Amino acid sequence: MVVSIFLANLEWKGHLANLGLRHLQSGVFDGTAMVENGGWVYIADPHAPTRDHMSPENRSACPNHPLAVDLLNPSAESEKRAHKLKRVVPRPNSYFMDVKCSGCFNITVVFSNSQSVVTCPGCSTVLCQPTGGRARLTEGCSFRKKIN
């Protein structure tokens, strides 16, 4: 196992102790090899466990294969649960919808998170009322999400 640590100023090698490592002295790190290359300090630990030295149950827990979850093509369910800014393509949770009035059957476009009372232009029936988040539809009104 190789641990790489970037030091902007190689004179600050003693500050590795702050990271839980012992002090570097003259290029030797407790018997491990160290190479300095343009500010990078590579510390190779020959005693670090490799996959060959693991017990069989630990070896099966971390198989040598690519990611089990495809990060570029997530499932629709996982995208729906993800925060609106942490999705592959960030987009809001709100949407526009067509609301059908239960009295005169007129269709009105309403924003899902509307912050004001929306009434039907035909019969002045209240279609939805604002809440803290999503607007609450009046009983008897039906809706469908607008695609575009």
Show me where the domains of the chain are located: 1-65, 96-145
Residues 101, 123: Cα–Cα separation, whole Å: 9
Structure tokens at 116: 């004001």
pLDDT at position 8 is: 46
Contact in structure between 43 and 29 (CB atoms under 8 Å):
yes
Distance separating alpha carbons of residues 112 and 72, to the nearest angstrom: 29
Q: 4 falls in which pLDDT band (50, 70, 90)?
A: very low
Q: What is the pLDDT of residue 24?
A: 44
Starting from the edge strand earliest in sequence, which strands make up the sheet with 96-100, in order?
Answer: 107-111, 96-100, 142-145
- Run of H or E residues at 77: helix 76-81
Q: Which residues partner with 44 through β-bridges?
A: 2, 33
Q: Which of 68, 60, 22, 63 is nearest to 3 (CA)?
A: 22
pTM over the 0.85 mark: no
Q: Residue 120 burial (CB < 10 Å; 0-12/13-18/19+)? A: buried
Region 5-21 average pLDDT = 46
Considering only 23-37, 70-84, 124-138, which range has the smallest mean pLDDT? Answer: 23-37
Domain 96-145 has CATH 2.20.25.100: yes
Q: What is the pLDDT of residues 104-133, one digit of tens each?
A: 999 999 999 999 999 999 899 999 999 989
CA distances from 127 to 26, 112, 148 (A): 77, 12, 22
